């Protein structure tokens, strides 16, 4: 039965796209075919509204073993014959509707992208955004998301080693859940997501196919509304124990030499894996859908094709190697079924009980092939007038800085995230180096080597909102700075680009400019983009109007530490160590937590950043660490220098005494969030070497004071004890969540 334009519109396609489908097929599509195009041409799968600008990001580098978009994840040479596969993706809408399963399956999905390449996952990270923590709805979502991440990751046996959490009312309905996975593999032992070799058999392995997640890709490519709870079937259901079996079986299958290609079944399920693998190889497939094991009886062809049931893989095997694979998956007690074969036709032919139910060219479905590409209108947002009208001269300096410092340190965006990360297993596999002694990035030792990987996720979305280009730069710069402060050298990034509706010209402006800033920063720091994810349509839609989330281009940064001896923590070490601020200090008054919460200023320019100065700072930090000059190293970010120093103090229960140079305004010096600054502590006897080192790199510095006692003393004024601030820090979030 053919399907007309009305059906296409209901499936999320527009009239122009429907007409294009008819032209590609040379006929009117049936419902199954139209459903296939609806998911593959959704924003989630095709990047139709973003690919033009994604291609402008720097995507080449000496360490990259595959270019961005070539495989399920980025692949970077880390030396010693090893490579790192890593990627970040979103699971925003499912998590907003069903927080536990939405977050859990986000974790499972990103891990599968890693081990389908042949890499063993060794670490997970996440970047989360929630609404107002005082809201019962926010707390419910947060509990569900954190439990979903923790339960899945802990059961799967991969440590959750780092992350970030922010709270803002713009995320009240549309939360953001971004999951990152990092894995290690020997160079040359990866497998590609390809369907090479006509005549080769095609297997589906893992869990049976159910009706969960149908049209999940379409769901992710539309606005959340007040009625989105009705889309619950679009949310997948995960099983971490099944995924663990699938991991081990997949790696064994790859090692057998009988795997030609392998791809996870994530968004769009069988449809996506068959089309992308075929298009990449210029081949086609015949698939018999009635041979796919299902959880529900009498599933329709389109339901089987579009299901996003979790813990499933598509494998193209070497002809003649069928029995080898069947034995491996049987050993791990996993389903493994022959469902098709590779052809040389370039077409996807889907059969149900020997009846051809869909027949489409593989190339016409995919990104970079026949999927539509759009360049949307964009314009400077109206609210930028408020940002540009900010007058720093009108910001008065308060007298109660001690009181402010205590309140600031307990703000949800600054406070300890202990309530969250205590629910994650950080030590499984025993490679996590920062589990006890904190560092600015998560650091995981690579077993049987002297190497370690540093990794972080970073994005202050408020900065991006105030100035999309500057904010995009800052996201990359902060991620690279965190990696450097931990003792590693940044090598590449993955990104998860979370924005509102791309049809909104102001949202599209944010997207375009944020990518410009990201690109410039990536070039400066030599951290090419390996791939990632675009998530549009993140906004609250209600009768009162549409409110996009803050533009949130989350950066997942990977760094390589050639020797674990370079691992550097952020906590003070010993009494008498000198404290320095390194980097340009200009006491720049710009957007900050301090301005927002204590001056009620919600619109102000993004913090100061100069890429050339930042780059010099990064090189200097690495050199100082490699010369073993530093006791501690901690970057200045949210909450400013005061927060930076006090976090270092509470980690070691060791206070400080500092003096602020007279030329700087005291509140802005303490609480301003200008970029390109780091606080270090050093042994007193190394003072001249460190100062000369910094001069050689052209990096300014200020000797602030000394590690001393159990209190924070600033300009001879007692700001309070280390233990008091430790309690404030710990209670900032937990006080809300322990009420119920």
CB atoms within 10 A of CB 590: 22
- Rounded to whole angstroms, how far apart are CA atoms 440 and 65? 27
- Answer for the pair 478, 458: CB distance below 8 angstroms, yes or no: yes
Catalytic residue among 91, 215, 634, 729: 91
Strand partners, 356: 351
CB atoms within 10 A of CB 658: 22
Helix-strand-coil percent breakdown of the chain, rounded to 5?
A: 40, 25, 35
- Based on its alpha-carbon atoms, the radius of gyration of the chain, rounded to whole angstroms, reads 26
Q: Which residue from 74, 122, 163 is spatially nearest to 452, judged by alpha carbons?
A: 122
Question: Any catalytic annotation for residue 693?
Answer: no
Cα 680 from chain centre: 28
β strands within 252-402, DSSP E:
259-264, 284-288, 312-317, 335-343, 347-352, 355-361
- Answer for the pair 55, 230: CB distance below 8 angstroms, yes or no: no
Q: Indicate the helix (H) or strand (E) that contains 166.
A: strand 160-167
Instruction: Give every strand in the sheet of 74-79, ordered side by side.
Output: 74-79, 82-90, 176-186, 120-130, 160-167
Instruction: Kindly give the residue spans of alpha helices, DSSP state H, lying in 220-300.
Output: 240-255, 269-281
Give the pair of three-digit tokens for residue 154: 């802990």
Give the β-pairing of 201-206 and 335-343.
antiparallel
- Answer for the pair 555, 522: CB distance below 8 angstroms, yes or no: no
Catalytic residue among 44, 93, 618, 634: 44
- Rounded to whole angstroms, how far apart are CA atoms 678 and 55? 33
- Answer for the pair 697, 723: CB distance below 8 angstroms, yes or no: no
Angle among Cα 544, 549, 552 to the nearest 5 degrees reads 170
Cβ within 8 Å of residue 416, ≥6 positions away: 729, 730, 732, 733
- Answer for the pair 206, 129: CB distance below 8 angstroms, yes or no: no
Handedness of CA 351, 356, 359, 365 (dihedral sign): negative
Strand partners, 77: 83
- Rounded to whole angstroms, how far apart are CA atoms 518 and 469? 7
CB atoms within 10 A of CB 298: 6
Question: Any catalytic annotation for residue 44?
Answer: yes
Cβ within 8 Å of residue 603, ≥6 positions away: 383, 386, 387, 389, 390, 466, 591
Instruction: Kindly give the residue spans of alpha helices, DSSP state H, lying in 307-400.
Output: 322-331, 384-388
Q: Which residue from 354, 338, 36 is spatially nearest to 199, judged by alpha carbons?
A: 338
Q: Helix crossing, 611-626 with 468-485: angle to 10°?
A: 10
Cβ within 8 Å of residue 683, ≥6 positions away: 577, 578, 631
| Residues with catalytic function | 44, 91
């Amino acid at each position: 039965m053919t399907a007309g334009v009305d059906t296409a519109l209901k499936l999320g396609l527009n009239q122009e796209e429907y007409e294009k489908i008819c032209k590609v097929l040379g006929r009117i599509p049936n419902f199954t075919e139209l459903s296939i195009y609806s998911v593959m041409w959704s924003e989630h799968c095709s990047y139709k509204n973003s690919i033009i600008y994604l291609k402008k990001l720097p995507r080449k580098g000496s360490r990259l073993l595959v270019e961005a978009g070539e495989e399920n994840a980025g692949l970077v040479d880390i030396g010693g014959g090893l490579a790192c596969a890593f990627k970040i993706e979103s699971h925003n809408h499912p998590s907003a509707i069903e927080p536990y399963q939405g977050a859990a399956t986000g974790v499972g999905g990103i891990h599968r992208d890693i081990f389908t390449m042949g890499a063993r996952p060794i670490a997970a990270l996440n970047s989360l955004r929630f609404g107002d923590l005082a809201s019962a709805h926010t707390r419910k979502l947060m509990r569900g998301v954190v439990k979903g991440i923790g339960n899945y990751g802990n059961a799967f046996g991969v440590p959750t080693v780092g992350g970030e959490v922010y709270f803002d009312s713009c995320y009240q309905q549309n939360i953001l859940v971004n999951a990152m996975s990092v894995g290690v593999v020997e160079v040359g032992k990866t497998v590609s997501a390809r369907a090479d070799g006509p005549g080769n058999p095609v297997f589906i392995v893992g869990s049976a196919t159910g009706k969960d997640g149908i049209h999940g890709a379409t769901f992710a490519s539309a606005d959340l509304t007040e009625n989105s709870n009705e889309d619950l079937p679009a949310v997948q259901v995960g099983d971490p124990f099944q995924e663990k079996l699938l991991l081990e079986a997949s790696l064994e299958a790859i090692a057998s030499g009988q795997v030609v290609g392998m791809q996870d079944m994530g968004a769009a399920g069988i449809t996506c894996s068959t089309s992308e693998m075929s298009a990449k190889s210029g081949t086609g497939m015949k698939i018999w859908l009635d041979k796919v094991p299902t959880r529900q009886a009498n599933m329709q062809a389109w339901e089987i094709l579009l299901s996003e049931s979790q813990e499933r893989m598509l494998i193209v095997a070497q002809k003649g190697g069928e029995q080898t694979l069947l034995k491996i998956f049987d050993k791990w007690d996993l389903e493994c079924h022959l469902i098709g074969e590779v052809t040389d036709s370039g077409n996807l032919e889907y059969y149900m009980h020997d009846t051809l139910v869909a027949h489409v060219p593989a190339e016409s479905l995919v990104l970079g092939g026949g999927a539509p590409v759009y360049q949307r209108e964009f314009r400077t947002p109206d609210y930028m007038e408020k940002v540009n009208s900010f007058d720093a001269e009108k910001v008065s300096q308060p007298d109660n800085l001690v009181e402010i410092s205590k309140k600031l340190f307990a703000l949800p965006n600054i406070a300890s995230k202990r309530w969250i990360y205590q629910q994650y297993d950080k030590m499984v596999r025993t490679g996590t180096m920062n589990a006890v002694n904190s560092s600015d990035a998560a650091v995981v030792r690579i077993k049987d080597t002297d190497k370690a990987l540093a990794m972080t996720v970073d994005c202050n979305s408020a900065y991006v909102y105030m100035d999309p280009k500057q904010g995009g730069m800052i996201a990359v710069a902060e991620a690279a700075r965190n990696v450097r402060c931990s003792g590693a050298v940044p090598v590449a990034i993955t990104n998860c680009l979370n924005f509102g509706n791309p049809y909104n010209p102001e949202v599209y402006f944010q997207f375009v400019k944020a990518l410009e800033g990201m690109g410039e920063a990536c070039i400066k720091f030599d951290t090419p983009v390996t791939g990632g994810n675009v998530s549009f349509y993140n906004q609250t839609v209600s009768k009162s109007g549409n409110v996009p989330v803050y533009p949130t281009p989350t950066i997942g940064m990977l760094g390589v530490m050639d020797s674990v001896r370079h691992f550097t923590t952020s906590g003070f070490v010993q009494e008498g160590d000198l404290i320095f601020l390194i980097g340009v200090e200009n006491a720049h008054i710009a957007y900050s937590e301090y301005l927002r919460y204590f001056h009620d200023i919600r619109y102000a320019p993004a913090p100061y950043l100069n890429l050339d100065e930042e780059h010099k700072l990064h090189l200097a930090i690495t050199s100082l660490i490699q010369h073993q000059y530093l006791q501690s190293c901690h970057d200045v970010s949210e909450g400013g220098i005061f927060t930076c120093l006090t976090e270092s103090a509470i980690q070691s229960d060791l206070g400080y005494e500092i003096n602020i140079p007279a030329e700087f305004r005291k509140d802005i010096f303490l609480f301003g969030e200008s970029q390109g600054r780091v606080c270090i502590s050093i042994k007193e006897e190394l003072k001249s070497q460190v100062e000369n080192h910094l001069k050689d790199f052209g990096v300014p510095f200020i000797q602030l004071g000394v590690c001393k006692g159990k209190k924070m003393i600033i300009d001879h004024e007692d700001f309070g004890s280390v233990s008091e601030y430790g309690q404030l820090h710990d209670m900032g979030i937990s006080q809300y969540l322990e009420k119920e």
